[in-house]
Amino acid sequence: MRSKSFSSVAAEFDDSLRSLDAIYEYYLQHQWTDGLPIIPPTEDKVAAMLDYISRDPQEEIGLMPPKYGRLTLEKIAINAVMAGCKPEYMPVVVAAVEGMLDGSFNLNAVQVTTHSSAPLIVLNGPIRHEIEINCGANCFGQGWRANATIGRAVRLIMVNVGGASPTNMGDLSTFGTPAKYTYCVGENEEENPWESLHVERGFSKDASTVTVFAAEAPHNAMCRTPSTPELLLETVVDSIVPKGSHSMIFTTETMIVISPEPAALLYNSGWTKKDIRGYLFDRARQPVGKLKRGGGWPTPQWPKWIDITDDSCLVPAAERPEDFIILVAGGPGVHCLVIPPYGMSRSVTREIKR
């Protein structure tokens, strides 16, 4: 919200704004929504959201670019109500936004880029079940309130506090992406044969965390008959290395989401996450000569050891194997997802404090 304060709006509703249709039109007029109807942030609903975390509503979390609006817990609560969140989602939204304000996430660039990217929110730990986050079949799709509204709340905060709206030129994305409505998922830890993402990043298995990763929409990679780990992963490799991908321009993080069936194949064949990362690092490459013909040429952000005068030199999709983020999620089917990055950002994981 820009022309009026969040907290004053509900009190200003007169008799002409008592219907949900009228309130929706009012919010559209003031550019306070994503185009979808919202839940009016009445004082009692906002108070219930704030009561769940028992902190000062005026506590400042930081300044949100590109307009550098002052982000308080009250403003987070208001947008969470508008998005349709339950009060118990509030700690997740707070942790996600805190992660995005970390300098390594580079939120200003994420907000104003012409790239088609959005913050992907990944939940780990017990909170997935407590708030009923979908981690299984159709986990990136419709049908779950927690997934839908947590991701939407983060986007509304980015617009209403950060000022990244296409109508005021704060958001310069050439095409945008449906992920800008909501982009939130949980890891399927119960069917993950390896350590979960948050445990890999140093958190206790019993901790609840949120990871934010600036990314494009998912790209499906299907291998119908993956008789060997190599055959399965070659399909993934081919989806990582198109020359226009930020993976091949910035050699930064890429997320690989493996569904339970191929995860079991890899694990039962003796493959660890380290093995998978090593294979992808070695195989997901393109020669300099090919990458000179389009993509990020002439100013790609490649490792210094790449010899740009040697057309046969192979450019990796990541600067190091550890930059492949491996997640297990989804339901039945022999599918993997490649989620390309926004190359000027790094993923951040935060513990959810309740």
Q: Which amino acid is at 276?
A: I
First-last CA distance in the chain:
27
pLDDT of residue 18: 67
Q: Which residues of the chain have pLDDT under 50?
A: 1-3, 6-7, 10-11
Is the separation of the CB atoms in 259 and 223 below 8 Å? no
How many Å apart are CA 146 and CA 182, to the nearest integer?
11
**Can you list the positions of beta strands (E) in 236-316?**
254-258, 285-287, 314-316
pLDDT of residue 16: 52
**Can you list the positions of beta strands (E) in 216-294?**
219-222, 254-258, 285-287
pLDDT of residue 17: 57
For 162-206, write each residue's pLDDT tens digit: 999 887 778 999 999 999 999 999 999 999 999 999 999 999 999
pLDDT of residue 3: 44
pLDDT of residue 45: 96
pLDDT of residue 10: 47
How many Å apart are CA 19 and CA 35, to the nearest integer?
17
Cα 222 from chain centre: 22
pLDDT of residue 165: 87
How many Å apart are CA 329 and CA 186, to the nearest integer?
7
DSSP string of 237-306, one letter each residue: HHHH--TTSHHHHH---EEEEE-HHHHHHHHHTT--HHHHHHHHHHHSEEEHHHHTSSTTTTS----TT-
For 29-67, write each residue's pLDDT tens digit: 988 999 999 999 999 999 999 999 989 999 999 999 999
pLDDT of residue 223: 83
DSSP 352: P
pLDDT of residue 6: 46
Q: Residue 97 has which token pair?
A: 């936004």
Radius of gyration of the chain (CA): 21
